[in-house]
Amino acid sequence: MTDRPSFPKRAIVTSGMPYGNKNLHFGHIGGVFVPADFMARFLRDRIGRDNVLFVSGTDCYGSPIMEGHRKRVEELGAEAAGEIVDYVRANHELQRKTLIDYDISLDIFEGSGLGSCAEFHERLSQEVIRRLHERGYLHKMSTRQFYDAQAGQFLNGRQVIGRCPVRGCKSSKAYADECDLGHQFDPAELIAPVSQLTGTTPELRPVDNWYFDLPAFEDELKALMDEWDADEQVRGVVTKTVRESLVPPVIYIQNKFRESFDEVVDDLPAHELHEATGNQQSFSVQFSCWQDRDAARDVLEAAGVRFRTGKCLLPFRITGNISWGVPAPELDGTSGLTVWCWPESLWAPISFTQAALDASDEGRYSSRDWRDWWCADDASVYQFIGQDNIYFYCVAQPAMWEALDWGLKQATPIANYHVLFMNTKASSSGEIRPPMASELLDHYTPEQLRCHWLSLGLDQKAVSFSPKPYDTSMSHRDKKTGEDVLVRDDPRVVDPALKESAFLTNIFNRLARSCFYGAANACDAHLPAGEPSEVCRTECEAALLDFERRCHAFDLHGALSVAEEFCRGANKRWDAASKAARSAADDEAYLAALVDAFASLRVITLLMHPAVPAGCERICEALRLDADTFFSWDHAFDTLAELAGEPCEDHAIEQLPPRFDFFEKHPSQVKNK
């Protein structure tokens, strides 16, 4: 009790931004939104709902949306397809419905380009860019952009596809300046580029844009990584991934080009040459800065020397030349540009915070000044992200926050590994299409899926989501018919996605029913009077403290394990004590067992509330206790009499019908049974 973790006075929870070109697939919900929702709900219970803001929204701008709308126009015609904003709004509403269906408790889910949020976001974008420029961290650079000569237009990022040039990356799905694994590179480095419009090889033509001087913050990022290495709340994958970019610029050249390299080596900027060793197929050339590396690239390209580059800090593009984007302010006579969607998505959570606070009623939140949430020493920002977005949120964003000098707190990143689908990485635009989150609700309840995804342990490694109704692999060959039987059609195969559901529908339900039916028989449907046993009090306290510690460290898988183990133990204790009491016809012993069971039920309901809120709130309702008090950790160690505010024998509870379920199976599961 004296060594509990500390929590901030206020907390922002954010879960990234889904693109406005599609509805949400299971990876969006299971890999990011459900873990973020768990933490937002826990924090509301732990520090008060008026001190927590859970914000997200649709990313309304950028080339993926332009490309999606272009294809829709091709398919339906311009009139039927509507304007691009109509396309975004329709997808935004689909996303909103899916989030509601999964009980994701966002305080705001709007769009960066929709409604009042659009005004806040455009204004903040202008302020950020002007501030970076005033402080000398924006530089205008002429870079080459892909141009489709046959189509007669410049191509946006998603209209070009090729292979990633970053050494060691196997991605064959790379766009103009980033691959699907999050690696950044110069467009000129993209291997085998192809225009998505015409299928031709596009040209590279120069265009002017503004870039943020990310390399200037290498020392600050290294210092931040040292801090994060010592922070239990930051996962190792974050600092490992970031440090991969905090290295000198390097070019890798295959040994077969050594003779051509030697002919131009004297024309290269100052460098260190590292010979190939052992079975290495390439030697490397290291430079002191990215400018020297790029100058060397020009020399090597002219000499016909093929090469690949390594990761390093590069200027971070802020503006772009596509029409569908937040307007960029005019700077030094340069106008007509829009903000690249990635940087503006980094500060979008601030825009959403501003919009949420502006729309809130007086007293809804403990402060209506966004700075009290993003800048105060007693506030924290928790950003739930996917593994492939670490570069943006953990490299580019921290550097920009430093450059702005607004006192913005460095957010705590909670990065999850990918949720695989049938043991394979799935992508809505790839060969293996993941099921949309809304489709899964034809087979599972939201609470079954929430529990399953939280239990996958994505903080430790990529884990497969293998729902049986979608498993088309072969189970066995039918001996009678000789036909192949698929896993999804084999009643003998257990559904992996229902592993955690058994805890809800059996163990948790059983403890709750035991309490209510026991009280109906022994206490005339009132709370049982008496103090829990010492064993029960000790186990309740231990579970509460262990769960709290694991939540503080974002070990959500471990937190659920604590809750499940505690509930199983409570059921065993009730079974043993109640059977012994009935066998001995000892009413007093039965009542004591019931007191322990109710105390345990209260604790498990509090612990499971962030994971399965609907069922837990139904239990609280049946207990006829005030939800704000019941789910507040300020009262976590209170007795039921203290929660009720009256003697237990005076507090009536709901009389449940027979076989009542607080956590139900999906209708399809009952039917199949």
581 pLDDT exceeds 50?
yes
Give the C-alpha separation, 643 to 630, whole Å. Answer: 7
Average predicted confidence (pLDDT) for the chain: 93
Among 163-177, 187-201, 255-269, 518-532, whose mean pLDDT is lowest?
A: 163-177
171 pLDDT exceeds 90?
no
Q: Which parts of 48-198 fold into alpha helices (H)?
A: 63-76, 78-81, 84-101, 115-134
Residue of 644, 659, 618, 657 whose CA lies nearest to 528: 644
Give the C-alpha separation, 644 to 424, whole Å. Answer: 50
Give the pLDDT band of residue 461 (cuts 50, 70, 90).
very high
* 477 Cβ contact list (under 8 Å, min separation 6): 483, 484, 485
Give the C-alpha separation, 113 to 46, whole Å. Answer: 33
For the residues of 331-354, what is the DSSP string, one character each?
BTTB-S-EE-HHHHHHHHHHHHHH
Instruction: Quote the pLDDT of residue 147.
Output: 87
In this structure, is the dihedral angle defined by the CA atoms of residues 39, 43, 44 and 49, taken in order, positive or negative? negative
Unique residue bearing structure tokens 């397809």: 81
Residue positions counted in the chain: 673
Mean pLDDT of 160-186: 81
Which tens digits make up the pLDDT trace of 119-155? 999 999 999 999 999 999 999 998 888 888 988 877 7
Give the C-alpha separation, 200 to 249, whole Å. Answer: 32
Mean pLDDT of 566-580: 97
Type of residue at 277? T
Instruction: Quote the pLDDT of residue 432.
Output: 64
Terminal alpha carbon distance of the chain: 46
Q: Which long-range contacts (CB under 8 A, 24 or more apart) does 491-497 make?
A: 491/672, 493/468, 494/468, 495/467, 495/468, 495/469, 496/466, 496/467, 496/468, 497/444, 497/448, 497/449, 497/452, 497/465, 497/466, 497/467, 497/468
* 109 Cβ contact list (under 8 Å, min separation 6): 56, 57, 58, 95, 96, 99
Give the pLDDT band of residue 428 (cuts 50, 70, 90).
low
Give the C-alpha separation, 175 to 162, whole Å. Answer: 6
Total-model pTM? 0.93
* Token pair listed for 601: 């039920």
Beta-strand pair 308-309/250-254: antiparallel
319 pLDDT exceeds 80?
yes
Give the pLDDT band of residue 673 (cuts 50, 70, 90).
very low
Which tens digits make up the pLDDT trace of 435-453? 999 999 999 999 999 999 9
For the residues of 82-114, what is the DSSP string, one character each?
--HHHHHHHHHHHHHHHHHHTT---SEEEETTS
Unique residue bearing structure tokens 């540009």: 337
Instruction: Quote the pLDDT of residue 671.
Output: 66
Q: In whole angstroms, how far apart are CA 516 and each of 124, 259, 264, 614, 619?
A: 53, 83, 84, 18, 10
Which tens digits make up the pLDDT trace of 609-663? 999 999 999 999 999 999 999 999 999 999 999 999 999 999 999 999 998 999 9
Rg (CA), the chain: 29
Residue of 106, 83, 85 whose CA lies nearest to 96: 106
Instruction: Quote the pLDDT of residue 194.
Output: 92
